Amino acid sequence: MPRRTLLTGLAVTAVAVAGAGTAVAVGTGGERSAAIAGAVDPSVPKNVILMIGDGMGDSEITAARAYQGLDKPLRMDGLPFRGAMTVHSLGRTGSGTTYDPVPDSASAITAMATGRKTQLNRLSQGPADDPKAVGDNAGYVTAMERAKQLGKRTGNVTTVDFNDATPAGQLAHMSYRECFTPQDAAKDCAKETKKAGGPGSIYEQIIDSKTDLMVGSGRDILNRGTIDLPGTEHDGKSLEQYAKDASGYRYLTTKDQFLGVKSLKDGPVFAQFGLWNTDKSSHPREFQGSPGTKADEGLRDDDTCKVNETYPEQEVPRIDASTEKALQLLSEDNDKGFFLQIEGGAIDDEAHAAHACLQIGETLAFDRAVGKALDYQAKHPDTLVIVTADHGQAGQILSAEAPQMPTPPVAGDPASLSEDDKPAGRTRTLRTKDGSRLRLGYATSNRSATGSKRERHVGVQVPIMAVGPQAANIMGTIDNTDLYPLLTFAKQPSELPDTTKTVTVSGPATTVTTPGPAVTTPGAPVPGPTREVPGAPALQVGVAAPRTIRAADLRAGLPVSIVATRGGRATVQVQQHGRTIASGRTTVGTKGAKAVRVKARLKPAARGTALRVRVTVTAGGQTRTATAAVTARR
């Protein structure tokens, strides 16, 4: 017999009406609490997209935004959750008692991909007291490896070569990041070659991973290295042939071949474009322009960035096109989900070269890829998107105006500046799209003394942004190792603290029938969008549902009790991972209470599936929303 439960008071939850994909744009002002609260989703995501702008610190983002025009925010500006991420690596001794505040891409991706720190130049491998010694691979399981263990599809998209640290760090474990081919490994990582019983060179490990989708540059390198395994069928074969024979890859080298792929059902895809280390860039750059020069020339404001007009003629897809295609292929007929890493790798390359225009162009291209991921997430709210950087870079935004002095120098005329007032290192002054002046300075290497043209990383925290299930976990200041539970689908949903507030329904007590105990949902009242009627009492809404229900019983209908302070129209939704799996509409009578059943079908996991019941009531020109949590079990 069902219990007769008196529902005279129910909690109103702290959930806003805004959806999980709500954008919180830069500089819009206004009250954002509801939009941010509505974006909170503690459930475990089905898909994870990790987007890394290599060397994309705050300065690089700010420069790209300023160049594009402050009235045109970046797509990444719309992510609702933001934080700061520390990125230090371990010191050279490997003891763990010292650290290096300036990481390289290898140690940085290791921390994100495995949740463990390591030293410079190591890929997903533990430290050693001798930096040249082989560390321990035990415990350094990467997020991409873990996703494959969970039966999810995996993808790795980059604008640089696959053996570059960021894409390689998800798939290879190596003591030195430049042991690319078997021949490189024989020279610098001899104990880790397959011939010596190790996992093999970086490229061999990438091929052996059988990642579902690889998209990047450095095409020629697969013909530069050969397999060194005497007595085996692969000995003497090129890496390209090894990829085809050992892992069944479809090896693609043109844009049309890649964009023409219809499905991953016919085998994994290894799409690699451009030429390695030639005058043809591995991946064409979005912009053209002059690199930074010494102060006298770099202070002049006559430089403008030009779009690379030859890009469409080259057989290389842009990063946003690669991202869109990757999402299509990874999600097609896929019930288990996927893990996808996307890297804007050339941002770092051009910052190293003090090439302001090219750095900005690559950042804007990466932002377009972010836009593709956000468009996908809006349609698939069970997807977590994280956008961040692996480390900071050298470029700084400098004042483009003359220094404030009793007798100010002539603006834009470096000859009128004293030596003390000229910026150090190399500079480049640009005209932005809205006509403003933007000056970038690079001063991390003494070019005049050493002849070096390579700027260096800097020791700063980096920005991190996210949207989707569990995205709120990146807020505040976190370390790059804290990403690992999010990237590996391992973080369990949290519960709101018990701050229950009772809402008493006016009028006579109303009795409704609900199987099981009455459940009140913790939280505090949060108003949804309203059209207030002058003099009308505030609408209050509550919802109750069983704490648990068998999946089989869901087919007969989930019992939901609705209470409201006024009669009106009610929409009831049952959501799983942010996606609505069942819905219905009803009317709450003038007595302000209603019991309904909502039928749903799902296959819960062995330990249960978290559901959220969402009720929206409109009455008297006002709208309020309340939710309740339900666990469906086998």
Distance separating alpha carbons of residues 474 and 150, to the nearest angstrom: 23
Q: Tell me how far CA of residue 403 lies from CA of 295, 391, 409, in angstroms.
A: 14, 31, 7
Of 447, 402, 397, 448, give the one whose Cα is nearest residue 421. 402
The answer to whether 357 and 458 have CB atoms below 8 angstroms apart is no
- Per-residue HEC secondary structure of 12-64 comes to CCCCCCCCCCCCCCCCCCCCCHHHHHHHCCCCCCCEEEEEEECCCCHHHHHHH
Q: Tell me how far CA of residue 39 lies from CA of 60, 335, 386, 470, in angstroms.
A: 27, 24, 14, 10
The answer to whether 570 and 554 have CB atoms below 8 angstroms apart is no
Of 504, 496, 550, 541, give the one whose Cα is nearest residue 523. 496
Instruction: Indicate the residue type of 220.
Output: D
Instruction: Indicate the residue type of 16.
Output: A
Per 3-state DSSP, the chain is made up of helix, strand and coil in percentages (nearest 5) of: 25, 25, 50
The torsion defined by the Cα of 133, 137, 138 and 142, in degrees rounded to 10, comes to 150
Of 541, 585, 530, give the one whose Cα is nearest residue 567. 541
- Per-residue HEC secondary structure of 597-623 comes to EECCCCCCCCCCEEEEEEEEEEECCEE
- Which phi and psi angles does 63 have, rounded to 5°? -65, -45
Quick one: how far is CA 365 from the chain centroid?
15
- Which phi and psi angles does 255 have, rounded to 5°? -60, -45
The answer to whether 344 and 54 have CB atoms below 8 angstroms apart is yes
H or E element that contains 11: strand 9-11
Q: CA torsion sign, 166 to 240 to 338 to 78?
A: positive
Distance separating alpha carbons of residues 129 and 119, to the nearest angstrom: 10
Distance separating alpha carbons of residues 454 and 447, to the nearest angstrom: 8
Q: Tell me how far CA of residue 630 lies from CA of 352, 470, 501, 626, in angstroms.
A: 52, 18, 19, 14
Number of residues in the chain: 634
The answer to whether 75 and 323 have CB atoms below 8 angstroms apart is no
561 catalytically annotated: no
Distance separating alpha carbons of residues 409 and 415, to the nearest angstrom: 9
Out of 43, 59, 105, 217, which one is annotated catalytic?
A: 105
Of 448, 538, 463, give the one whose Cα is nearest residue 76. 463
Max Cα distance, the chain (Å): 92
Task: Determine how many CB atoms are found less than 10 A away from the CB of residue 9.
Answer: 15
Instruction: Indicate the residue type of 540.
Output: Q
Of 116, 218, 127, give the one whose Cα is nearest residue 167. 218
Catalytic positions are 105
